[in-house]
Amino acid sequence: MKKGLFVICVAALLATGCKSTGNTEEERFIEDLLGKMTLEEKIGQMNQLCFDQPLDSIKAKIRAGEIGSMLNIDPKLIDEIQKTAVEESRLGIPLIIGRDIIHGYKTVLPIPLGLAASFDPQVVEAGTHMAATEAREEGITWTFAPMLDISRDARWGRIAESLGEDPYLSGELGAAMVRGFQGEHLSDSDAIAACVKHFVGYGAAEGGRDYNSTYIPETLLRNVYLEPFQKAIEAGAATLMTSFNDNDGIPASGNDFLLRTVLRDEWKFDGFVVSDWCSMSEMMSHGFAADRKDVARISANAGVDMEMVSQTYIEHLPQLVAENKVPMEVIDNAVRNILRIKYRLGLFENPYAKPGKTSTIYCDEHLQTARRAAVESAILLKNDGVLPLKEDQTLAIVGPMADAPHDQLGTWSFDGDKNRTVTPLRALQTDEYNQVKYIYEPGLDYSRDTDTSDFERVKSAVRRADVAVVFVGEEAILSGEAHSLSNINLIGAQSELLKAVKSTGKPVVMVVIAGRPLTIERDLPYADAVLYNFHPGTMGGLAIMDLLYGRENPSGKLPVTFVREVGQIPMYYNHNNTGRPAQNEITPLEDIPLEAPQTSLGNTSFYLDSGKDPLFVFGYGLSYSTFEYADLNLSSNEVSATDTLTVTATVKNTSAVDGTEVAQLYVRDLVGSIDRPVKELKGFQRLFIKAGNSQTVTFKLPVSALAFYGRDLKKKVEAGQFDIWIGPNSAEGLKGSFTVK
Which residues bind to ligand BGC, rule: CB under 6 A?
71-72, 100, 144, 197, 276-277, 481
With a CB cutoff of 8 Å and minimum separation 6, the contacts of 293 are 312, 315, 316, 319, 320
* Distance of alpha carbon 612 from the chain centroid: 27
Query: Rounded to the nearest whole angstrom, what is the least distance from the CB of residue 560 to ligand BGC in the complex?
Result: 19
Query: Rounded to the nearest whole angstrom, what is the least distance from the CB of residue 507 to ligand BGC in the complex?
Result: 42
* Distance of alpha carbon 243 from the chain centroid: 14
Q: Which is nearer to ligand BGC, 144 or 709 (CB)?
A: 144
Distance CA(331)–CA(40), nearest Å, equals: 10
Q: Are 467 and 438 in contact (CB under 8 A)?
A: no
**What separation in angstroms does the CA of 79 have from each of 49, 141, 641?**
16, 12, 54
Q: Are 395 and 433 in contact (CB under 8 A)?
A: no
Q: Which is nearer to ligand BGC, 318 or 416 (CB)?
A: 416
> What letter represents residue 208's amino acid?
G
Beta-sheet strands, E only, within 408-500? 437-440, 467-473
Distance CA(143)–CA(99), nearest Å, equals: 5
Distance CA(349)–CA(456), nearest Å, equals: 65
Q: Which is nearer to ligand BGC, 197 or 340 (CB)?
A: 197
Distance CA(616)–CA(626), nearest Å, equals: 18
Q: Which is nearer to ligand BGC, 137 or 276 (CB)?
A: 276
Query: Rounded to the nearest whole angstrom, what is the least distance from the CB of residue 643 to ligand BGC in the complex?
Result: 41
DSSP track, 657-669? S-EEEEEEEEEEE
Query: Rounded to the nearest whole angstrom, what is the least distance from the CB of residue 484 to ligand BGC in the complex?
Result: 13
Q: Are 172 and 127 in contact (CB under 8 A)?
A: no
658 is catalytic: no
Q: Which is nearer to ligand BGC, 209 or 448 (CB)?
A: 209
Q: Which is nearer to ligand BGC, 87 or 206 (CB)?
A: 206
Find the residue with minimal CB distance to ligand BGC: 144
Q: Are 538 and 108 in contact (CB under 8 A)?
A: yes
Q: Which is nearer to ligand BGC, 70 or 558 (CB)?
A: 70
Distance CA(124)–CA(230), nearest Å, equals: 18
Query: Rounded to the nearest whole angstrom, what is the least distance from the CB of residue 98 to ligand BGC in the complex?
Result: 7
Query: Rounded to the nearest whole angstrom, what is the least distance from the CB of residue 198 to ligand BGC in the complex?
Result: 6
Backbone angles phi, psi at 382, to 5 degrees: -155, 145
DSSP track, 549-572? TTSS------SS-B-SSGGG-S--
Q: Which of the residues 100, 153, 256, 276 is marked catalytic?
A: 276
Query: Rounded to the nearest whole angstrom, what is the least distance from the CB of residue 285 to ligand BGC in the complex?
Result: 15
Report, as residue numbers or ranges, the catalytic residues: 276
